[in-house]
Structure 1
């Protein structure tokens, strides 16, 4: 096995992590921002206009328990289409969380009486506080959306949406691709799994991930067209790819989301997409990243409502 000269500091090259290595990794994680201050306060401010539900609790021991919140349309009507918005599946992806909150604050009211909204702004609060991709068990929640999920975060969201699985028309999951993916998280993943780290590139700009098994290319194009007015769209690399996947349309790649255990596979929604914002771009500000997420959500809902 050809291993890189520079390896992640935890573990032995070529050997997957065991309990000791995972414990060492977890002991190094530090709280860098507060979920209750950033997310909890924002959700409390919405209670006058929306129904707020605590749908579960993440519990990693003393001092590491977190309530999980979903925000629903107040006048839920089973005769209306249901739209699902999720953010913070990867807790470190800031605009996914704050874009969802900004959508609730600024635009969600536009759909009163027209669509049912179910918005989960922060699926992974432990990761949000530590600005990390994984949960406390060194698991990626966005590879864990499957039956008997080992990730608390994924299992709780699956249970929340289970009664609506066949009634959700559109599901948009808000993400970011960051420079730390390449500098921190991909090397850690390789080390955890006992595999060699293969360097890659980070695309400069916004892109979407469609479901290769339930393709909706016109839906993806409509979202890209709207977001392009807010921020720049990621170009394909020299191989015609974005992060190793062929570009099938401007700013669009595809994954088999259910087999990978991704969040957009948890319902039978006709329209699904995963946003990817690039917050480290010199061409984008944090507010622009949030605005791009909001634009994507609005475009996705509008397209689904217009096309049924």
Structure 2
């Protein structure tokens, strides 16, 4: 982790990311006790302080003790997430849309591309899905940006946040910068490094800053559809489920194709349902023309 050197006897030792979080959340760094090397205040210390006291109830599975409950302190990251999501639910007027995307063409194209590639360099469905979302966000700019001071502020670039579950509990959503212009092999390699650094606590400050739209993909957990909560100040979150074989009607004939359910959580302050539907339509159309990804 990057640290800011001390500049005088009274300067608080804190990482650059911790300082930015403290400014945005109104936390006084001098009131915190750092858990980093040499007492340096880390981003998680600020998140925990801004979240306030959060606890979770753990009940015994033994019938005789079901009436008794004990409180355990939440992980700092989980506490911060709980506070952020509570604020998002109360402040953002969410609404949801979903669609089922036929992946037969995309999967066939991917198999052809992978035929002569080394195993370590083969494309996976997640890369195609993320690239399709990034390109769709560029084509529907009303979704790509932030709600600030009572108005939507579009972003000139796509910084695709990717939700990553942490081994010790909690969630982080680092950003893939310029994901819409990144070639698929580069996107895959960048994503792999991003997930590895997120789970080992080695994310760079630039990788945690200002995603413009976030994707949460729980397909590897067996989930068929995800209806998420928007990360403020963003105005949209895309959920992707697992790829499953389903009956599909093609030219009047019933067949079985790989499909995925894509969902959209949207902020009603920023736009209406018709505008938001364009994003899901764009994702679908892009995946029917994977050579354009």
Do they superpose with TM above 0.5?
no
Q: Which TM-score applies when normalising by structure 2?
A: 0.29
Bigger CA radius of gyration? 2
Q: Which has the higher strand share?
A: 2
Q: Which TM-score applies when normalising by structure 1?
A: 0.28
